[in-house]
Each structure stands twice: as structure tokens, then as C-alpha cells.
Homo-oligomer: A and B are copies of this chain.
Amino acid sequence: MARIRLIDVAELAGVSMKTVSNVVHSYPHVAPALREKVQAAIDQLGYRPNLTARRLATGKTGMIALAIPEIDHPYFSELSRHMAEEATRRGYRVIIEQTLSDPDLERAVLIDREAGLVDGVIFHPVRMETLDIAKLDAGTSLVLLGEAAIPVMTDHVMIDNVSAALDATRHLVASGCRRIAFLGVIAADITGSTNQRLLGYQQGLLEAGVRLDPELVFTALEFTAEAGLRSVTEAIERGVRFDGVVCRDDRFAIGALKALHDSGRSVPGDVAVVGWDNTFLGAYTSPTLTSVAPKKTELVAAAFDLLEERIAGYRGVGRHLIVGHSLAVRESAPHTP
């Protein structure tokens, strides 16, 4: 079953390849009669242009790569969905690369990108350091997401983590919490995200005239609900008292909800809980989860805008965009009446 080529259609229709190509591309200056004849040949043979060949000829692949740590992390799977939809809207296809937070895989993404496979890359680094990225960002189209690394020359989109954490903390303060914990600092995590969120949290306490009690900064071992559960359970067992928790991540928040539930605390009665990322998980818990909500569609649109400008030839310094956020208020930390 040999594939039908442009030339096969051309022969059947008795015209040149270019004319067939013109029909395929809806080039205006083709005589209606000819166009019809060619179209008939196309239909008859079931011709589909070979995209690989087209790519080689045009130099454009029409494809962008989205490199994220884990496909099945709710935040990233939602992000992927938005990316896929935005890409379709803009005429691109998305190829998803899972880096698993492995520095080598992350590096591979940046190197492969140059292999002419994709026109650009949207990359959410976790482990690669600023300088490392700067070194590999060899002038091709790249947009970074998140706060892990921010090379000056590279475009970058994020939310204002400090102010978001501040909002979350203020929300808890407003509903009467005074002993507010922060979950979770990760031993192995040297990314800026946690630090910034912690900073906003401190600022919120300061504003409320509450002193930060180091005992209330909970540490987790890894980014899982399980680790969050363990961390909160241990705090409870240590006798730490708290009436609110700002969680660095929805999964931590879910672990926290479970820990509180298992230890007989009511949420939000005894402890109010705020998560982060506003993933769909939060809608499924009991109680439902209040969560910091990055404006994902804005973020996706901004990332694409920057990327397309790069693809179009922009070679200037990196643009660093902040997109909005809000607080999705649900049962675990409701509005004050």
C-alpha cells in the first residue's frame, strides 16, 4: 500500500505538482475548472500531504514541545489540556515531554529541541539551574514556566507567588485564624517557589501582627499527599496547635485534610485549609478545598504569545511576565460571614 504522493495526483490530473500543491493550499490563482479536476484526483486517490516532507521543505514543523515534570500531576495535566487546546487554536500540535524532574531528562529537552523537531518549547523546569538553562538556550524559541530558574535572556511566565501566598494568609487571618501553619517545606527543594510562598505567608502574618512560630512551618519529604498527611499527623502528635494551614500544593492540602479528619479535627471548624493550584482535586474532597488559583488560561496564552514572537524572530532579552491569580474559595476555608 504505497502512499499517494503529490506527483501521483499530478499525473492523474494531468497537471504539474505545483498546481496540485496550489490547490491543496487554496492558492487563489487557480482556474476553477482545473481546481475541480485536481480536487477530484485528490479525492479519488485519497491523497494526504506528507507533513514530514512539507516540514523539511518549509523549515517549520508546526509543532511545539511542552516539557513538564509529570503528565499525571493534576496541575500539569490541566495545564497540558489548556496548552493542547490553545495550540490547536493557533495551528500547532503539542508533543509532551515528561522530565520526571530528572536533570538529565530536562537537559535532553533543551538539546533535542534543536533537532528540528519542534518550532519551540514551553518548559517548566524543576531541577535545572538558571545558568545551566542559559547555557543551553542557544537562541532558539523557548519559554519557561514556574519559578525554578529564571535566566535573564529567556522568556518566562509565572504568577506572583509572594502576593498569592499573602492573599491566602490574609484570607485565613480574616476568618479568625491566628496560629497559621505552612505546609510544606521540602528538604530537597531548592526552587524559588517555596521560598516565595513562604515569604508571602510571613508577610501575611506580619500584617496581622502575628509572630511567625517556626514550629508552624511543616516539612515534608516529597511532593505527595502521603508526605503531607504524615507531616501534619506528626505535628499533631507533637502537640503543635494550629487553626489554619497554607499548603504549598493541593496534594499537600489533601494530605492535610486527611490527617485532620483522621485525628478527629473538623475542617474548617477546628482548622481551615488552603491549597495551591486549584486543581480539580479540590472539588472532589470533603470538605471541598479552598485553593490559590493561578489563571491558567492567561498563563497559557501568555506563554504562547511569547513563544510565537520568538518563533517569528524576536531575539531580544527575556520578557518576564506575571499573570494573575485569585483564591478559589470553597468549604475548607470559607468566606467570613
Chain A residues with CB under 8 Å of chain B are 1, 3, 46, 48-53, 55-56, 61, 63, 70-72, 74, 77-78, 80-81, 84-85, 93-98, 111-112, 114-117, 138-140, 225, 251, 254, 257-258, 261-262, 280-281, 283-286
Determine whether the beta carbon of B258 is less than 8 Å from that of A116: no
Q: Is the CB of A72 within 8 A of B80?
A: yes
The smallest C-beta distance from A125 to any residue of chain B, in angstroms, reads 18
Q: Output the least CB separation between A85 and chain B (Å).
A: 7
C-alpha gap A4/B225 in the complex (Å):
46
- Supposing A71-B77, A116-B50 touch, asked if A1 and B139 sit within 8 A by C-beta, the answer is yes
Chain A to chain B contacts (Cβ below 8 Å), 11 pairs? A1-B140, A50-B116, A52-B55, A56-B56, A72-B77, A84-B98, A95-B95, A95-B96, A285-B285, A285-B286, A286-B286
Instruction: State whether B49 touches A280 (Cβ < 8 A).
Output: no
Known: A72-B78, A72-B81, A81-B98. 15 other contacts (CB 8 A): A3-B114, A48-B112, A49-B115, A50-B56, A51-B117, A52-B117, A70-B81, A71-B81, A72-B280, A74-B74, A84-B98, A93-B95, A95-B95, A95-B96, A262-B286
Count chain B CB atoms within 10 A of each CB in A71, A74, A116 and give the residue with the most: A71
A230 to chain B, nearest CB (A): 14
Chain B contacts for A261, CB-based, 8 A? 286
Which residues from B are CB-within-8-Å of A225? 283-284
Residue among A49, A50, A70 facing the most chain B CB atoms (10 A cut-off):
A50
Q: How many copies does the complex hold?
A: 2
Query: Which A-B residue pairs are the 5 nearest by beta carbons?
Result: A77-B77, A50-B116, A72-B77, A72-B81, A71-B81
| A95 contact set on B, CB distance < 8 A | 63, 93-96
Q: How far is the CA of A336 from the CA of B63 in the complex (A)?
A: 53
With a cutoff of 8 Å between Cβ atoms, the chain B residues found around residue A50 in the complex are: 56, 115-116
Beta-carbon nearest neighbor of A80 in chain B? B71
Contact partners of A285 in chain B: CB under 8 A: 284-286
Docked pose: A116 CA to B47 CA in angstroms: 12
Chain B residues within an 8 Å CB radius of A111? 48
Query: With A258-B284, A284-B254, A285-B285 given, is the CB distance from A3 to B84 under 8 Å?
Result: no
Output the nearest chain B residue to A113 by Cβ-Cβ distance: B48
A284 to B93, CA, bound (A): 33
- CB pair A56–B52 under 8 Å, yes or no, is yes
Given contacts A81-B72, A85-B98, A284-B254, contact A51 B115 (CB under 8 A): yes
Contacts of A98 in B (CB 8 A): 81, 84-85
Bound form: Cα–Cα A61–B208 in Å: 59
Q: Which residue of B lies closest to A93 (CB)?
A: B95
| Nearest Cβ on chain B to A22's Cβ, whole angstroms | 19
Q: Determine how close the nearest CB of chain B comes to the CB of A37; give it in whole angstroms.
A: 23
Closest to A73 in B: B77
Whether the pair B138, A51 counts as a contact (CB closer than 8 A) is no
**A39–B140 CA distance with the chains assembled, in angstroms:** 24
CA distance A113 to B31 in the complex (A): 31
Asked if A3 and B116 make an inter-chain contact with CB atoms under 8 angstroms apart, the answer reads yes
Task: Given the known inter-chain contacts A71-B77, A94-B96, please indicate yes or no for A52 contacting B280, CB distance below 8 A.
Answer: no
